[in-house]
């Protein structure tokens, strides 16, 4: 935004995310350090392996830096840059991918201290460039030595150094022979130009089975192909080879080709022309008398017939790269049209062609002693092991190529980095001014390589060994520059690389790694502004049909207006009414209402001065704005900058109790769907934000254990204990005995709020955690068969049937969500039907149908007598599937039942249909019992009339109180129907109304299950009537 004549001019879209200044630089450095920490343990011969699972479910087991980072999904641009340099290093040199990431991360970490001192990034960059120039000069002239390419032992030493850190180190001799043989074969010199093209002319063929020792190098080409006709030969010595990239089959027309046939003879003529074309092509091939034909395209049955009759073997559908390698092996020329065939196109350099069966597949070998293309055949017990062997062989091949193209090597094992570090520190003494600091930082950063080697090999003291290595290089820098860390043996002792069987790396690899790391650090340090484009949104996030939000269209309030509205609600909702009392030390504490207080409501909806019967009218009045809030949140919940403040305000509203708590609870079903969607799309920030809200509600609304309790919602008591801050696990009502059961705790607790004491009696002589905590806090207590904890300084503790949950993990995620849904359905009478009914039903429908192509049944049409639904949803089959468990669906069906009778039958029937289809697909027996019983009851004629009448009247929005079945009448009708004396009177509770006549009985399990469904909410709702 810029200012022109007093009016602001907007340049960048406000929906774009922008960050500037030192904050960007610090974030970039933090991202780079995190990427480096991921693979730091994968450096050296004692490196650890990483097991990664790709998006398709495949397993990657490796310590190769590029292979690890390739499977990691990151969002930060600096982290993506770090991953990109690993790919570049792998393409350029084939090795050093782990080192380049670790060095780049350390160069950036060293620069962070100068940014905190307000030193300009340009000064830091200048010091880094000075250091890089000196590193290149010293490495090429002082710290490297030439390699005799005619010496097999020197070449072997370099390749073994490369393989020493790989999984293939056990088979080092085999890998060295394979690498040297393959690279020397494809080494071609033409007119003083040396070409070693590993990517094009050295192919690795992986064949599972046998042992790794059975791997070998084939001087030629190995193809996973078989002959196209069983009569063709599978072995030919000195073959005459013809290579084609044209088809030997009917030529197919283009997509817009039209053929006009007037009579039968025209069609016959078309077939004859096709056959004549194929015969002409085959005759042109047969004239040159080849006995082996390869083509990149197809071969028709008619062409196979002609070729077999001429004694010619053919293989089809080769890759372009395989055809190019065959041209090198056989000396043939690839032909594009059989009409252009010449004798010079025939290749005769191949010595042998044969096809062998390996395992369950056929492979073709075309070999030649004069070839300049090779195939490395790898064997192994499993695909995962062969894939890792392939990566190791690729590194060895590139190592040999680097030495042949630049025959100079440098000491490994951290010796080069320590020698460069010492030289840089010595020169830094002569650099004046502030630039000496960044110059020294490069020296300190290079020490990360020997330090990591010591840590990974289990060195006893990293500081001691690193200090000893510094001292060794400082004593005689001209001769001791070959000293490094012995990473092969545990302990990481010092070792001289000048000894036989030491570690020497290719100069190309080490120098490229340092250059790339410093250049990357310089590039990232120069970034001071990050602008991210406008985010794309799914159709279901734009407020239209298919969104998770009630109501059509987009939100009618912006972010600021929503915040103001929520802030206004804080003043409109009255806080909960608690009795205040003083503890023994004079501090004010909270105590529960006295037992038997007529004004108390269930603890999940704490008492407030207003009557619970007034909560629902208040929430109904807020329904339009509440739906706008839900829609806005669904469109923006993944952007935590917008949604986090809203969640914070909702949580503050929740703790005001009364109607405010009901206001928040009616938003929970939509939040559950958005949470599961965020987990699917890996929006971790959004998921963690919603988890915070869920855990806050869950720990306040812990449920009782089973339908036999007086209330499905916990009636927790707040009692006074001495300095006890952790929640106990006591199902309780005041002045009654409760039982502690959990771990080693077993005992009886007597709660006495009036005297602020808790009496405890052990069971089986075990020591109670309550008593132990009190004793540790200095309270006066006695232990043994019985004891009493009396308060010196009192603190408030909430007692409930379940322990609190601190974090949501895979094991408890659906337990929390199921109990949250139970809280919502049990207090649904206090909520606004225009909010809770569409929210719950839509969320349930999206959860059950996402990723499935279920077709809606005719249930809605049969019940409502309507052909078209009032709401159109997006295609669910294109969305990711959302995992769900049967207890969650069972609890959600209660809310669907409520929506059926309160003006939202259309969406409720569609949600019921979705739950039923999902339960059928995943064979959820308990859910099917619920849905079958409810569907059968809905098809009763009187039930249909009732549903249609209530749906058309919109009773859920107009009447003051929602409808719910009387439970005594429910039981009576269920008994009457079970006894065969029912008269078909509609009852949503019984499962035997589907017949609609006397004596019609449904399955007893369905009847009993449905009756339980309607009887679960045993709370006294007399306050609402």
Enzyme catalytic residues? 64, 97-98, 395
Using the CB atoms, write b or e for 663-700: b if 16+ within 10 Å. bbbbbbbbbbbbbbbbbbeebeebbebbbbbbbbbbbb
The Cα–Cα gap between 539 and 745 comes to 53
The Cα–Cα gap between 943 and 716 comes to 40
Give the residue from 851, 866, 855, 845 showing the smallest Cα distance to 912.
Answer: 845
Question: Residue 803: CA atoms inside 13 Å, Cβ hemisphere, count?
Answer: 9
The Cα–Cα gap between 328 and 371 comes to 6
Joined together, the tokens standing for residue 1001 give 């009985």
* Reduced 3-state DSSP string for 881-919: CCCCCHHHHHHHHHHHHHHHCCCCHHHHHHHHHHHHHHH
Phi (first) and psi of residue 589, to 5 degrees: -130, 165
The helix (H) or strand (E) run that includes residue 788 is: strand 786-790
The Cα–Cα gap between 349 and 367 comes to 9
Q: At what angle do helices 905-922 and 833-849 cross, to 10 degrees?
A: 30
Q: Are 536 and 620 in contact (CB under 8 A)?
A: no
The Cα–Cα gap between 69 and 89 comes to 13
The Cα–Cα gap between 616 and 1012 comes to 26
Joined together, the tokens standing for residue 374 give 């090779």
Phi (first) and psi of residue 556, to 5 degrees: -100, 0
Instruction: Give the Å distances, CA to CA, from 552 to 547, 870, 907, 914.
Output: 9, 11, 14, 21
Instruction: Give the Å distances, CA to CA, from 339 to 244, 284, 420.
Output: 12, 7, 64
The Cα–Cα gap between 760 and 754 comes to 16
The Cα–Cα gap between 366 and 358 comes to 16
Q: Are 53 and 59 in contact (CB under 8 A)?
A: yes
DSSP 235-303: EEES--EEEE-S-BSPPPP-TT------SHHHHHHHHHHHHHHHHHHHHHHHHT--SEEEESS-B-HHH
The SS3 of residue 747 is: strand
List the beta bridge partners of residue 354: 235, 365
Instruction: Give the Å distances, CA to CA, from 1 to 5, 558, 787, 804.
Output: 13, 21, 71, 49
* Cα 21-23-26 angle, rounded to 5 deg: 120
According to DSSP, the β-strands at 202-208 and 374-380 are parallel
Instruction: Give the Å distances, CA to CA, from 165 to 457, 484, 514.
Output: 11, 15, 19
Q: Are 241 and 322 in contact (CB under 8 A)?
A: no
According to DSSP, the β-strands at 794-799 and 717-722 are antiparallel
Neighbours of 429 (CB within 10 A): 8
Q: Are 504 and 161 in contact (CB under 8 A)?
A: yes
Specify whether the backbone of 996 is left (phi greater than 0), alpha (psi in -120 to 50) or beta.
left
**Rg for the chain (alpha carbons), in Å?**
39
List the beta bridge partners of residue 18: 531
Q: At what angle do helices 886-900 and 905-922 cross, to 10 degrees?
A: 160
């Amino acid at each position: 935004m810029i200012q022109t004549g007093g009016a602001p001019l907007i340049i960048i879209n406000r929906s774009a995310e922008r960050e500037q200044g030192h904050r960007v630089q610090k974030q970039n450095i933090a991202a780079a350090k995190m990427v480096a920490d991921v693979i730091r343990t994968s450096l050296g011969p004692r490196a650890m392996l990483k097991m990664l699972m790709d998006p398709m479910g495949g397993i990657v087991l490796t310590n190769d830096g590029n292979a690890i980072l390739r499977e990691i999904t990151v969002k930060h641009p600096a982290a993506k840059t770090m991953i990109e340099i690993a790919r570049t290093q792998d393409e350029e040199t084939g090795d050093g991918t782990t080192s380049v990431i670790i060095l780049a991360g350390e160069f950036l970490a060293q620069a962070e201290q100068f940014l905190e001192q307000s030193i300009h990034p340009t000064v830091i960059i200048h010091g880094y460039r000075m250091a890089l120039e000196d590193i290149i000069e010293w490495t090429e002239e002082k710290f490297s030595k030439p390699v005799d390419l005619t010496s097999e032992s020197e070449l072997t030493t370099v390749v073994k150094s490369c393989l020493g850190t790989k999984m293939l180190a056990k088979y080092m001799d085999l890998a060295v022979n394979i690498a040297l043989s393959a690279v020397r074969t494809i080494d071609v010199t033409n007119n003083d130009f040396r070409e070693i093209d590993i990517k094009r002319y050295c192919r690795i063929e992986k064949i599972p089975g046998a042992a790794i020792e059975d791997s070998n190098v084939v001087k030629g080409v190995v193809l996973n192909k078989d002959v196209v006709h069983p009569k063709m030969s599978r072995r030919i010595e000195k073959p005459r080879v013809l290579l084609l990239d044209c088809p030997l089959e009917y030529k197919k027309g283009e997509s817009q080709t039209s053929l006009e046939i007037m009579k039968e003879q025209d069609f016959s003529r078309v077939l004859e022309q096709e056959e004549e074309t194929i015969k002409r092509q085959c005759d042109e091939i047969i004239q040159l008398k080849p006995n082996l034909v390869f083509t990149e395209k197809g071969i028709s049955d008619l062409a196979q017939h002609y070729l077999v009759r001429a004694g010619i073997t053919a293989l089809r559908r080769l890759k372009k790269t395989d055809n190019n390698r065959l041209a090198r092996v056989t000396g043939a020329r690839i032909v594009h049209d059989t009409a252009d065939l010449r004798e010079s196109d025939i290749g005769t350099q191949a010595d042998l062609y044969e096809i062998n069966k390996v395992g369950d597949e056929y492979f073709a070998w075309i070999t030649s002693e004069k070839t300049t293309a090779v195939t490395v055949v790898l064997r192994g017990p499993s695909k995962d092991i062969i894939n890792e062997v392939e990566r190791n062989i690729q590194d060895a091949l590139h190592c040999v190529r680097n030495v042949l193209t630049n025959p100079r090597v440098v000491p490994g094992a951290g010796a080069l980095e320590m020698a460069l570090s010492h030289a840089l520190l010595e020169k830094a003494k002569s650099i004046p001014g502030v630039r000496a600091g960044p110059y020294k930082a490069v020296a300190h950063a290079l020490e990360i390589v020997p330090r990591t080697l010591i840590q990974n090999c289990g060195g006893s003291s990293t500081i001691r060994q690193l200090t000893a290595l510094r001292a060794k290089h400082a004593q005689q820098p001209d001769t001791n520059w070959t000293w490094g860390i012995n990473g092969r043996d545990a302990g990481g002792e010092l070792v001289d690389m000048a000894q036989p069987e030491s570690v020497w790396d290719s100069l190309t690899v080490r120098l490229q790694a340092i250059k790339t790391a410093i250049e990357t650090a310089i590039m990232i340090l120069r970034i001071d502004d990050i602008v991210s484009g406008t985010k794309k949104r799914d159709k279901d996030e734009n407020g239209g049909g298919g969104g998770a939000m009630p109501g059509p269209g987009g939100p009618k309030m912006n972010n600021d207006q929503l915040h103001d509205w929520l802030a206004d609600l804080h003043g409109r909702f009255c806080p909960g009414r608690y009795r205040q009392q003083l503890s023994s030390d004079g501090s004010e504490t909270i105590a529960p209402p006295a037992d038997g207080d007529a004004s108390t409501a269930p603890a999940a909806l704490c008492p407030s001065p207003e009557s619970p019967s007034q909560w629902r009218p208040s929430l109904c009045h807020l329904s339009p704005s509440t739906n706008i809030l839900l829609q806005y949140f669904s469109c923006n919940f993944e952007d935590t900058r917008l949604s986090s403040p809203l969640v914070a305000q909702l949580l503050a509203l929740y703790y005001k109790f009364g109607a405010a708590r009901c206001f928040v609870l009616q938003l929970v079903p939509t939040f559950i769907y958005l949470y599961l969607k965020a987990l699917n799309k890996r929006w971790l920030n959004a998921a963690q934000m919603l988890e915070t809200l869920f855990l806050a509600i869950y720990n306040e609304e812990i449920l009782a254990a089973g339908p036999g309790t007086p209330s499905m919602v916990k009636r927790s008591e707040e009692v006074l204990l001495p300095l006890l801050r952790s929640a106990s696990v006591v199902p309780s009502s005041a002045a009654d005995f409760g039982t502690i059961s959990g771990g080693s705790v077993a005992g009886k607790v007597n709660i006495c709020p009036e005297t602020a004491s808790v009496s405890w009696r052990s069971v089986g002589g075990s020591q109670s955690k309550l008593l132990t905590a009190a004793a540790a806090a200095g309270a006066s207590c006695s232990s043994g068969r019985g004891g009493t904890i009396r308060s010196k300084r009192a603190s408030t503790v909430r007692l409930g049937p379940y322990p609190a949950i601190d974090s949501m993990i895979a094991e408890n995620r659906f337990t929390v969500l199921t109990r949250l849904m139970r809280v919502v359905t049990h207090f649904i009478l206090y909520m606004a039907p225009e909010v809770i009914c569409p929210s719950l039903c839509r969320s349930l429908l999206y959860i059950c149908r996402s990723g499935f192509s279920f077709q809606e049944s005719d249930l809605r049409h049969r019940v409502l007598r309507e052909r078209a639904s009032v709401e159109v949803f997006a295609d669910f089959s294109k969305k990711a599937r959302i995992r769900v468990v049967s207890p969650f669906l069972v609890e959600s069906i209660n809310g669907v039942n409520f929506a059926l009778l309160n003006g939202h039958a259309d969406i409720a029937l569609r949600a019921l249909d979705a739950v039923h289809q999902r339960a059928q697909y995943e064979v959820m027996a308990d859910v099917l019992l619920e849905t079958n019983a409810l569907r059968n009851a809905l098809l009763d004629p009187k039930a249909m009339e009732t549903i249609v009448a209530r749906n058309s009247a919109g009773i859920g929005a107009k009447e003051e109180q929602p409808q719910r079945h009387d439970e005594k009448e429910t039981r009576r009708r269920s008994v009457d129907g079970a006894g065969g004396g029912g008269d078909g009177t509609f009852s949503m509770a019984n499962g035997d109304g589907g017949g609609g006549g006397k004596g019609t009985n449904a399955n007893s399990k369905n009847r009993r299950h449905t009756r339980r469904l309607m009887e679960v909410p045993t709370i006294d709702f007399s306050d609402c009537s």
